Structure 1
Amino acid sequence: MINIRLANEKDLSTVEQLAREIWPVAYDGIVPPQQLDYMLDLIYNNEALRNQLLVQQHTFLMVEQDGKPVGFAAYSTVAPGVSKLHKLYVHQSTQGQGLGKKLVDHIIAQLQQGSFHTLRLNVNRYNKARFFYEKLGFIIMKEEDVDIGSGYFMIDYVMEKKL
């Protein structure tokens, strides 16, 4: 059974653990190992996750399969009517089961209850997840290179879907 629920502060250590299991597989051959470690330490340490949840007001979701956490997502309002999907990751052991699509559908259903008209995200230009998002109706709007410090950049597409 699949369950999608709001995550809270107690779930942040699970989010970090999942990210540390998922990212090395998701970004293998795309992001060098040193940059991967740097990004995980920067974005997924407990203090950073707490800041995203409590200060930046990101809505975190956990997806569970048979009671076991297997993925997560996070999104927030970035402009009037625009929400940004900051994170969406599903454990490789459960990929291909439609969990990512269920997470996106869940987020869109939540946003449509408000006054949102656009869901935006960044995806690495070399990540095959881009095709997943295109299949869900997202369109590439532009390329963006994000300086994340220590000489590292995220080489992304900015994609959007009208709701």
Structure 2
Amino acid sequence: MKIIEASKDHFFIIQSLADRIWPPTFANILTSDQIRYMMDMMYSTSALEEQIEMLGHHYLLAEENGEYLGYVSYEFDYKDADITKIHKIYVLPSLQGKGVGRFFIDAVVRIAKEYGNAELSLNVNRFNKAIDFYKRLGFEVIKSEDIDIGNGFLMEDYVMNKKL
């Protein structure tokens, strides 16, 4: 398995992965309307361009034998703190529990340390089974927050942090 730093040329791959990952991952947590709304909000070409060009997000893809397995995005110095924020980390459902997520976290830990940040942070839906995965990797729940994302939808999240 290898990591590829994503660029604009990879937007279609990220969008294709999101189309395959989001509906089954969130089917029992969010309504189909909210899934569609959030996917458009986060994965339209203009949204991806803004994330990379204006917000300083970096995307990595995992690839093995010509197949893309998932993606992670992160930002250094989140809110002007010594924190690397993981904005997205998603793996194909058929590969969840097989080490791809850990591979991504390990990569971001290494990159964040090289950059000089001392902590990782991420948000996770309070009903997402990935919470246990993050806890096993040393993340702790710092707080709970509800984020109004418009159109009458909320993101009901835990904020989880990990010291590096």
1:156 corresponding residue in structure 2: 157
Q: Deviation per CA, 1:63-99: give whole Å up to 9, x if none.
A: 0121211100000021231110000001012222100
TM-score (norm 1): 0.97
SS of structure 2 residue aligned to 1:113: helix
Query: Aligned equivalents of 1:42 and 1:80: distance in 2?
Result: 26
2:58 corresponding residue in structure 1: 59
SS of structure 2 residue aligned to 1:127: coil
SS of structure 2 residue aligned to 1:57: coil
2:48 corresponding residue in structure 1: 49
Which of 153-162 and 113-122 deviates more?
A: 113-122
Q: How does 1:79-118 map to 2 (within 5 A)?
A: 79-118=80-119
1:75 corresponding residue in structure 2: 74
SS of structure 2 residue aligned to 1:30: coil
For these two proteins, the number of residue pairs brought into alignment is 162
CA contact (8 A) 2:21 2:91 kept: yes
| Sequence identity (%) | 38
SS of structure 2 residue aligned to 1:119: strand
* Structure 1 spans left out of the alignment, 5+ residues: none
One-letter amino acid of the structure 2 residue matched with residue 93 of structure 1? S
Deviation at 1:122?
0.2
The alignment yields a C-alpha RMSD, in angstroms, of 0.8
Q: Deviation per CA, 1:45-68: give whole Å up to 9, x if none.
A: 010011101111101000012121
Query: Aligned equivalents of 1:53 and 1:17: distance in 2?
Result: 18
Stretches (4+) displaced over 2 A: none
One-letter amino acid of the structure 1 residue matched with residue 29 of structure 2? I
Which of 87-96 and 115-124 deviates more?
A: 87-96
Query: Aligned equivalents of 2:8 and 2:105: distance in 1?
Result: 22
One-letter amino acid of the structure 2 residue matched with residue 137 of structure 1? G
Deviation at 1:127?
0.3
CA contact (8 A) 2:69 2:100 kept: no
1:31 corresponding residue in structure 2: 30
One-letter amino acid of the structure 2 residue matched with residue 6 of structure 1? E
2:19 corresponding residue in structure 1: 20
